[in-house]
């Protein structure tokens, strides 16, 4: 029996040994492997990146200047099967620090040997080329140990005799001189170029302003067109919205009306049921007793009616009898009056003018009374005349004119009566 061993991608698992003295070795990283109990051996080795800082102090260059150089290297064990087997042969069972020390010493040896072949200027001015050279020289040696150099850079370079600083001062002076000359030439060229640039700038600005104005005009025109289109679409949308809103309101109102109709129908049905109930209740509580009372009152009224009719008939009969009696009396009085008038007419016809005269004479006092009626309301009459004979003459004149007035009114001539004729002649 055995165990199943797993390993992550940052380390490798080595399974060695087996049945019957087998020397088969299995290398696994980021997977699993089977190991038999007692007869198989399992070991692990890290595949993580190792950071090294090789340092060479006071190493003389090709010119004999002692320099101290510090570098930074990133290395790791390669995962190819053959190279991983080589690395396992050399480093299996060692910790990471032991592996770092071996690789660090190898890199420092190659760094020291390369420093002796280069000048200070080459090392200081072209660090990338120096680091590349170290990486190219050291890579085959560390590769034979199953190690891969991922990167190598020069971190620091300095000396104890101020050679680099002196070199820097000389170079600085040269650079400063060249810089001053360059500044003067640059200022000269800058003035010329500035004038040319200003002219070009003004030309470009004019062209740009022209294009901007054209673009702005086109933009405003397009914006106006878009605004007009947007306004039209907005108005159409608003109109459609309002129209749809009106339709929805109409639908809602229609549904409300339908609901009201249904509610009204239900209310009418309820009211009809209530009316029927009330009607039945009224029939039971009011109408039946009322009909009985009405029938009783009707019987009483009919009896009273018969009584009144009989009384009216008796009263009418009484009035008729009284009328007939009064009519008989009036008829008798009329007959008597007619007979009297007839006899009077016959008498007047028989006596002729004398009868008429008698009638007139009978009526004269009544006429005189009617004429003198207003004078009865006068308390006193004063006749203004200075001659007593004048009053007498006026009275006589009035009496003389009386027959003429009667003749004018009645046609009866009073002058033909002997007494009146005689009186009249005497007055005359």
Residue 250 CB-density burial (10 A; 0-12 exposed, 13-18 middle, 19+ buried): exposed
CA dihedral 403, 409, 411, 414 (to 10 degrees): -20
Helix (H, G, I), strand (E, B) or coil at 261: helix
String of DSSP letters for 362-421: HHHHHHHHHHHGGGGG-S------S-HHHHHHHHHHHHHHHHHHHHHHHS--GGGSHHHH
CA distances from 270 to 256, 259, 274, 275, 280 (A): 20, 16, 6, 8, 15
Is residue 54 classed exposed, middle or buried when 0-12, 13-18 and 19+ CB atoms within 10 A define those classes? buried
Q: Indicate the burial class of 67 (C-beta count within 10 angstroms; 0-12, 13-18, 19 or more).
A: buried
Assigned token pair, 401: 């004119």
400 neighbors 415 (Cβ within 8 angstroms)? no
Comparing C-alpha atoms, which of 159, 148, 140 is closest to residue 68?
Answer: 159
- With respect to CATH, is domain 49-161 assigned 3.30.479.30? yes
Tens digit of pLDDT per residue, the chain (428 long)? 666 776 767 777 777 676 655 566 777 777 676 566 666 666 777 778 888 888 888 877 777 778 888 888 888 888 888 887 888 878 877 888 888 888 888 888 888 888 888 777 777 777 788 888 888 888 888 888 888 888 888 888 877 777 666 666 666 667 677 777 877 787 888 788 888 878 887 887 788 788 888 878 888 888 888 888 888 888 888 888 888 888 888 888 888 888 888 888 888 888 888 888 877 777 777 667 767 777 778 778 787 777 787 887 878 788 888 878 787 878 788 788 778 777 777 766 665 666 666 666 666 677 666 666 665 666 666 655 555 555 566 656 665 666 666 666 666 666 665 555 554 555 55
Predicted local distance difference test score (pLDDT) of residue 35: 62
- 396 token code pair: 């006589």
CA 375: distance to chain centroid? 104
Per-residue pLDDT at 39: 62
């Amino acid at each position: 029996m055995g165990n199943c061993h797993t390993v992550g991608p940052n380390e490798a698992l080595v399974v060695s040994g087996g049945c019957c003295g087998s020397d088969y070795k299995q290398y696994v990283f980021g997977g699993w492997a089977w190991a038999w109990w007692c007869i198989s051996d399992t070991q692990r080795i890290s595949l993580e990146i190792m950071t090294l800082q090789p340092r060479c102090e006071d190493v003389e260059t090709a010119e004999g200047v002692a320099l101290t150089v510090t570098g930074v290297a990133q290395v790791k064990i390669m995962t190819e099967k053959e190279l991983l087997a080589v690395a396992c042969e050399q480093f299996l069972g060692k910790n990471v620090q032991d592996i770092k020390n071996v690789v660090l010493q190898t890199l420092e040896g190659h760094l020291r040997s390369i420093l002796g072949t280069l000048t200070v200027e080459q090392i200081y001015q072209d660090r990338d080329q120096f680091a590349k050279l170290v990486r190219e020289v050291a890579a085959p040696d560390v590769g034979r140990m199953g190690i891969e150099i991922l990167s190598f850079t020069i971190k620091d370079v300095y000396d104890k005799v101020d050679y680099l600083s002196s070199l820097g001062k000389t170079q600085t002076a040269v650079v400063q001189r060249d810089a001053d000359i360059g500044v003067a030439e640059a200022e000269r060229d800058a003035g010329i170029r500035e004038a040319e640039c200003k002219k070009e700038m003004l030309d470009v600005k004019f062209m740009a302003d022209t294009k901007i104005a054209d673009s702005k005009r086109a933009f405003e025109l397009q914006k106006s067109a878009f605004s007009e289109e947007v306004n039209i679409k907005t108005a159409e949308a608003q109109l459609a919205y309002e129209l749809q809103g009106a339709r929805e309101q109409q639908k809602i109102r229609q549904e409300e009306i339908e609901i009201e109709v249904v509610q009204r129908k239900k209310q009418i049905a309820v009211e009809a049921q209530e009316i029927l109930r009330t009607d039945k209740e009224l029939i039971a509580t009011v109408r039946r007793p009322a009909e009985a009372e009405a029938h009783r009152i009707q019987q009483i009224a009919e009896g009273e009616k018969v009584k009144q009719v009989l009384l009216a008939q008796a009263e009418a009969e009484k009035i008729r009898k009284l009328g007939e009696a009064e009519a008989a009396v009036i008829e008798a009085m009329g007959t008597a009056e007619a007979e009297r008038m007839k006899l009077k007419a016959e008498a007047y016809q028989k006596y002729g003018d004398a009868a008429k005269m008698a009638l007139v004479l009978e009526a004269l006092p009544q006429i005189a009374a009617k004429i003198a009626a207003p004078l009865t309301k006068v308390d006193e009459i004063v006749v203004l005349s200075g001659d007593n004979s004048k009053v007498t003459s006026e009275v006589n004149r009035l009496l003389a004119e009386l027959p003429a007035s009667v003749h004018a009114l009645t046609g009866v001539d009073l002058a033909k009566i002997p007494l009146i004729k005689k009186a009249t002649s005497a007055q005359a």
